[in-house]
Every structure is written in structure tokens, then in C-alpha cells.
Structure 1
């Protein structure tokens, strides 16, 4: 009975710390290990980069060429005009325009209104209140009248990517969700009923790929890292795993060089290429933009609009929307969902399953310790430490399969489960190893005794032979 109460007390303590998390350890640990798993599984995200998404960067070279920051309305209109001449399926500008900052605003609004393809403009739902969007003199009202607003900022989602952003009593689709809806409207695309944009509500764990478009250096030279695709998926995963396991033996620069992919995960262009002579009739630009979902965003040194990719490190913020869209295009409704809270201490179904397994493991460990190790039963049955390992391993495997195949929660939510097995494995196998060691000692002692017996017999035979020889000699 005392064993039961000790286990119960420890389980309640673990549950309390897991739920309350006063130091924020669980949240930070989840993010840390989630990044590791996303990095390890990046080779399996897709064999190749999809040919549906293109990113255009308003980089330093473009700002030096146009000599304006923020990009003027005249240049924005010219940029959109060139993009439209290559017939994209949709265009998104990751630029928050809250106040008029240059001349010829009318030209920019006219370009938005005349665009042949849907144009989405960045929106902060907390700033774009119903009152501001209905005020005739508001710049936000003027932009909303000639384009569609898509949310680029939100709160309460941690590092995850929502499908809808609720604010001011209104629901605004995120960029990836809004553009995926346009993608599903293409005549050549069939989005299944359960993958339809209206059915996508759960936030996303954005997966990143370690592959890149083989045409990348033709459009924007990034370096030799864009010349050779990674090795096989298994080889890339084990190479990353080895780098993580030996990170304490490497310098930060060496570790960064081994882990961080330099080549962007999607085909990326500089906006300077759209201002080059003949850009409106360029066959290369037509190949990169025609029928594509085009996302335009800033890329400035020391810029604030950045995203930390577990595979690529710091990237321009527009890549967060682009990769979320890529996840929807490749996986539809089977993207990795963030498990929703069920209303009990802000716990999700993933938390409850994880807590259940942790408590099960805890009781198993304590029971095994007191009923086998303390009583010495493990010596008489050396394989008694194997079945608890099989039990826990089976529970972990079942949990991962359930979350990944049925609930679409993804392996990233289950980072702690393999660690549970790794930490408890020595406990269950300790006396098995001890028993094997004693058996080896017994075998060695038996072999030594046999050797001594054989030696005594040999000596006896030699002595008898000498006696016989001595008698014959007399």
C-alpha cells in the first residue's frame, strides 16, 4: 500500500507541475525539442519543392536601385503591373500600410483595383477595426475596397500558425488560409471536402523542408549550397542527428554550418529582376510566376519582420506564410494540427495522452523497483526487465501512430515520449545486465575449475607414468 501512495503522490506532483508550469519550463522545452524533431524530419516533408509558390523579396539591392524606403506607391504599382503581366493565380504583399507615406497613392490603388488576379494585402486585425475599415478617409478602408485583407499578426498562438484570427468581433483569414482558398478555386485543382478551406480551423505546426528549387541560382544567386540537393532522406536525418548529438564538441560556427540550410525552401526572386529591361516579356519570369501563388515581402539586414526556421535559421517573415501555404498545398487538411484545449486546465488531448503515459510509466517503474529489484526476484528471472520496456515502447508507438495517422497532430507533439523510454530503460535492464554478468562470472569460474581439474589429472598421469618408468628401471 505504501508503494501505491508513494506513486500516487509523485504522479500528482508531476501532474501539478505539468499543468501549472510555474517556471515555463514545459513550454520552452516543447519549443526546443519540437524544433529538433522538425529539423530531423525535414527530409521527409517532400521529395521536391512544389511548383506552386514563388517568393519575391524587396531586398537591399532593390531599395538601392529604387532609392526609396518604404517602397513608394509608384514602384509598388509598377511591380504589381509586371507581376500581373505574367498571369499569377494570386499575389500577396507582406507590407503593412497604415499611413500614406509617398505620392501617387491613387496610382497604387488603381493598380490593385485593375489586377486580373486576386491581390491580398497584409492586415493587423487589432488595428483594422470595423470603425477604421468603414471610415471613408482611412487608408485601410481605401486598400480594403480594392483588395482582400489577410492577417499577418496575431496573439495567443505562440509560434504556431492560425487559420483564422479573431479580433474586434471579426474573423480574418490568415495569409496561407486565404491563398489556399484561391488555390482550391483553380479549375485544375480538386480539394477534397474535408480539405476545403472552410473546414480548416486548427492552427498549424509549420513543417519545413530541407530541399530547394534546382532553378534557384538562375533567378537569385544564393551560393554553392543551391547547387546540390541533400543526400537521401535517411542519410540527411542521421547526419542531422549526429550533429545534434555531438553539438557540445563543435564550435557554434561549425554547428551552424552543418545544421542551417543556406538555400531557401521555395523559389525566390529579387524584386530587381522585375524592374530589369524586358521584364514584362521575360520567359524566365513567366516560368516563375505564371499560374503561381506569389508572395512579396521585405528582406532587410537587421529587419524586424523575420521568422526562425528550425532548418534554415533566420529568414524573411514572408517565408512563414509561404511555407504554411506550402503545407496546405502538399498536405491539405492533413497538415500538423496544434491540439486544441478541451477546457480542463487548458490541457489538450495531446497533453492528456502524454500525462497518462507518463503516469503509467511512473507506476510501472515504482512497481518494478519494489516488487522485483528490492525483493531480488529479478535475479531468479533475468528477463523480467524486458516486458516493461516492451509495454512502454508499445504505448509510445501507439500514441505516435494515433496522433499522426488519426488526429493529424504530428510527431512534434510527442517529443517527450522517446525520452521517457530512454530514461526508464536502464532501470528495467539493470538487473538483466547484472544477471548476465553473474552468469558470465559463473561460466568463467566453472571454466577455471575445469582447467584446474584437468591440470590435476594431467599431473597425476605424469606422476603415475614416472612411477611406472621408475619401477621398470629397477
Structure 2
């Protein structure tokens, strides 16, 4: 017997063994899953199940995240009402920015992130000197200032000249560039570093603030962070009202007053009920069609220095906190889309990224993909792939055992229900509609008695109905088990291997698709057939 025949015989022996066949099927499922995750997104687009599945899982990750580190930071917003009260239009004067910074300074924050890029220098605005002096005063008072800046063609951060001169002396310039997902336009990742080819890497706002204030340098090169968006909203968030659609930019309540829950654009979270289909949520909760309110504490600049009650509240939210100062203007462009909160001001992106770093530190969740490298992140992803293989193998073992049980039961059923042979005749006899009644009613070896015909017909229908229910039950059980296993792999990837869930969904989702569609079993059958056809007769 030649080598080809020996190989074919060994392959068939493995297939005939229960555990060998299961191992082959599970292994092929994971291999096909990896191959599909690497190729199908380029053919059908990356939204080929991945983004939808990740968006479904995002609330679970947010629920597990709890309150994170949101008590360490607060978002401060300049909105249209704030500008109107101050008698300013956009862009406001440099002197106005100085007044805002001085007002925040009175509450003794831990640091201030100025998330307003100063792109074009207005030489006719002589109040720039006031802004420069204020920033240096903050530095002298032990309150570091971080200025949002944009990179030039060479990768160097730039801002208006008077502020550029303060770099390293009174302020730190930080990167604020990010890239929303090209498909769903939501922000799943946050670049901790950015650089142009050959240039020195530039730290992002979240990375710079975390490393400087907490004294914990992150490993270099810094891998992109897979954001975990918190689910539980802060009690004091955006004061938008729902009268305007998201496309028109929801605006604050008139005169900056707080809004009633029925008028708010957003809602509280439903906990794990966020995981159920939208239709079920909307049937149970009347406000389920609204997005979840923002995760971080928010103050509006026009409330600074207000009445005693307001001042007491703001003091608790700003003192010893990192204050992230941003904008919320109706016709502004600084907005992002969150998988939890929908459309919100861009400053919340940096707040969530900083929150993640304070919570996880160097163990932040990585946004990575399989590659032919030996770095730690890739090795963790390979380990997760092995865990996924084990999950798929469990499903395959259960399916194979259910099939074996069914094959053992079916001969017994065939002897107990002798009319099965008649059904074969019914399905194969030409012109069966005209002969339907006699064929269904007759039992082999018995007379066709009138008083038993309908009872036998009822028995046959009941038998087929029970079989259909049994098949449906097995499918539902497999589906539920698959969902639980995917959730388990996601938890392991997120909490133990620090792998972002978009990456996990890519591999596990396609592997389970290969298993459920039984591409692996079809492929094994095809291989076996080819071997049979190619094996010479001895």
C-alpha cells in the first residue's frame, strides 16, 4: 500500500474515532474562523457581523467596568449659553479663556486639560498676554496645564506662537487626534501615541496626563487602546433636551436650567437588560429608544461662581480632580459617536481614555490583530485563539453526542412506529397526492380498518411534531451554549489577557460561524470523498 493510501486510511481512522473526529472538526472551525476574519472583512466590509456583535457586547463590558475611575476627573463645558452670558461669540477672546481658567483655578483642581485647539493666531486680540500669564500662574500654583495641539506635516505638535513658546515651561502640548471607525463612525479605539514616519512619537492627552500625574510610565511602543465605555451614567451629565434630533445637535435646556427626566435627551442604564434585543427593551421601558447618559461628571462653565448650593456641588466635582475643558456648541464640529452614549462632545473621548488608564494602568485593553510577530500582545491573542478552539470543541462534542444519541434512538423508533416504512413509500411513489389517504392509513401486516385510520394519522402527526420540537430544542440549546461560550471567551480576553473585544469577536465570531454553518464538516466530508476517489484498488 502506498503512502497516499496509508495517509487516507489513517485519516479515516481518526474520523471514525469520536474524539478524533471532534478534534478535527473543532480545529477546522477555528482555522476557518481565523481565515474568515482575515479575508471576509476585505470582501464584504468589516461590518460583516463584527461591529454588530461588538455593539451588543459593549453594555456588558460597561456593566463590568462599574464606576471605573470617574471620581478622579470631571468634564467642564463651554456651550452656547455660556458664551451668550459672557457676551462672547465664537471664537471667544483669549482673555475669556483666561477668565475661565482662573475661575477653575479657584476650585483647586489637580490638573487642567484645555481641549480647545488654538489653530489660527488672532494678532489683533491683545488679550493673548493675559492668557499666557494665566497659564504660567496655574503652573506656579502646582496645577499643570495640558494643551490640545495638532501635528504638522513632520509630526510635531503645533499651536499659536505665544502658546507654543510655553511648551515645557508653563504647559505641555498633547495630541488629540483619533480615528473613528470607517463603518459605524463610532470610536472603539484610542491612540496613546501618534507619529509621522521617522518622527518622535507624540503622547496623547490621556497618556500624558496619566504618566505625569500618576508617575507610571506605560510600556513603549504603546499599543492602541481598545476603549471600554462605562455604562452607568453620572447623575450630573449633559443638560440636553430631546426636542432636537441628533443630527441637529441637541442643545442645553433654556437658560441652562436642569431638565426633567421626561425631557432629557438621554436615560439611565438598564443594566444587563441592555443586552436584550431593542424591541424587547422598548416594550418594557418607554424611554428605551434614547441613548444612555454620559458616564462622567459634567459642569457647565456658566455655573462657576454661582449660588451657594451650586458652588458647593461644583467644589466637590472640581477639587483635586483632573478637569477636562471642552466645548458643546450647537454648530460646532467637536463631537464623537460612542457605542453607549451615541453622539456626545469630543472631550468625553479623552475623559473615557484617561479613565481607562487610571483604572487599568499598564493592563489597559489592547486593540490588536493576529500577526507573524512574537510580541506579548500577539502571543496573548494566540492564546485566546486556543481558548476559542476549546470553546468550539465543547460545542462540537455536544453536537456529536446529540447526534449519536439520536442515531441510537431512531432504530428503536422505527420498530415502534412501523408506519415509517409507509412514509418512505409515500415520499417516493409517483403520483402520491392521489394515493395519500391509503398510504398514510395502512400499517404493515394489518388490515386497513376504518375505526383506526384517523387514530394512526393523528399518531403520525404527533410523532413528526415531537421530532420537529426536539430538533428546535436542540438548536436552541446549541445557540444558547454558543452565546455563553462567546461571552466566556470575551470575559477571559478582556479581563485576563487585556485584549479588546472587537478583536475577540473577529476570531470567535467567525469560528462559531464556521461551526454553525458546518463548513468544517462539509470540508471533512469533501476530503474523505476525494481520498476515496483517489485511492487505487488493491
Q: Tell me which interval the TM-score lies in, with the shorter structure as reference length.
A: 0.5 to 0.7
The unaligned stretches of length 5 or more in structure 1 are 186-195, 428-474
1:408 corresponds in structure 2 to 498
2:146 corresponds in structure 1 to 120
Partner residue of 1:179 out of 209, 234, 242: 209
Asked if 1:61 corresponds to 2:90, the answer is no
Q: 2:321 and 2:149 mapped to 1: Cα distance?
A: 22
1:36-435 to 2 correspondence within 5 Å? 36-47=56-67, 50-65=70-85, 66-101=87-122, 102-115=125-138, 116=141, 117-126=143-152, 129-130=155-156, 138-139=161-162, 141-144=164-167, 146-154=170-178, 159-167=188-196, 169-185=199-215, 196-199=216-219, 201-214=222-235, 221-224=258-261, 236-244=270-278, 246=280, 255-257=288-290, 260-262=291-293, 264-274=294-304, 282-339=311-368, 342-343=371-372, 348=378, 352=382, 357=388, 361=392, 376=407, 379=410, 399-400=489-490, 402-411=492-501, 413-415=503-505, 417=508
Give the CA deviation at 1:268.
0.6
How many matched pairs? 402
8 Å Cα contact 1:243/1:255 also seen in 2: no
SS of 1:342's partner is coil
Closer, same or farther: CA 397–75 of 1 in aligned 2, 3 Å: closer
RCO higher in structure (CA 8 A, sep ≥6) = 2
1:182-226 CA-partner distances (Å, limit 9, x unpaired): 4315xxxxxxxxxx2333723222222232334569997254279
Give the CA deviation at 1:129.
4.6
8 Å Cα contact 2:380/2:497 also seen in 1: no
Closer, same or farther: CA 419–169 of 1 in aligned 2, 3 Å: closer
Closer, same or farther: CA 328–28 of 1 in aligned 2, 3 Å: farther
Q: 1:339 and 1:419 mapped to 2: Cα distance?
A: 17
Closer, same or farther: CA 82–355 of 1 in aligned 2, 3 Å: same
1:108-128 CA-partner distances (Å, limit 9, x unpaired): 112112212000000223457
8 Å Cα contact 1:389/1:421 also seen in 2: no
Q: 2:360 and 2:331 mapped to 1: Cα distance?
A: 33
The unaligned stretches of length 5 or more in structure 2 are 1-7, 16-23, 182-186, 240-255, 414-469, 519-538
Q: 2:63 and 2:488 mapped to 1: Cα distance?
A: 23
1:345-403 CA-partner distances (Å, limit 9, x unpaired): x995576567664799499869978x967x956747999x9999999899757744542
Closer, same or farther: CA 331–88 of 1 in aligned 2, 3 Å: same
Give the CA deviation at 1:22.
2.0
Q: 1:162 and 1:41 mapped to 2: Cα distance?
A: 20
8 Å Cα contact 2:227/2:365 also seen in 1: yes
8 Å Cα contact 1:120/1:147 also seen in 2: yes
Give the CA deviation at 1:266.
1.2
1:88-138 CA-partner distances (Å, limit 9, x unpaired): 1100111111221343212111211221200000022345755968xxx93
Closer, same or farther: CA 332–11 of 1 in aligned 2, 3 Å: closer
Q: 1:372 and 1:50 mapped to 2: Cα distance?
A: 51
8 Å Cα contact 1:92/1:295 also seen in 2: yes
SS of 2:258's partner is coil
Q: 1:299 and 1:179 mapped to 2: Cα distance?
A: 22
Give the CA deviation at 1:17.
4.0
Give the CA deviation at 1:319.
0.3
Closer, same or farther: CA 177–85 of 1 in aligned 2, 3 Å: same
1:28-79 CA-partner distances (Å, limit 9, x unpaired): 6433322221123323321587321111111110122232211210100011
SS of 1:269's partner is strand
Closer, same or farther: CA 418–377 of 1 in aligned 2, 3 Å: farther
1:453 corresponds in structure 2 to none
Asked if 1:33 corresponds to 2:70, the answer is no
Q: Give the superposed CA RMSD.
A: 5.0
SS of 2:52's partner is helix
TM-score, structure 1 normalization: 0.67
Choose 386-395 or 108-117, whichever is displaced more. Answer: 386-395
Q: 1:283 and 1:368 mapped to 2: Cα distance?
A: 62
Closer, same or farther: CA 283–361 of 1 in aligned 2, 3 Å: closer
Q: 1:70 and 1:325 mapped to 2: Cα distance?
A: 27
Q: 1:32 and 1:131 mapped to 2: Cα distance?
A: 36
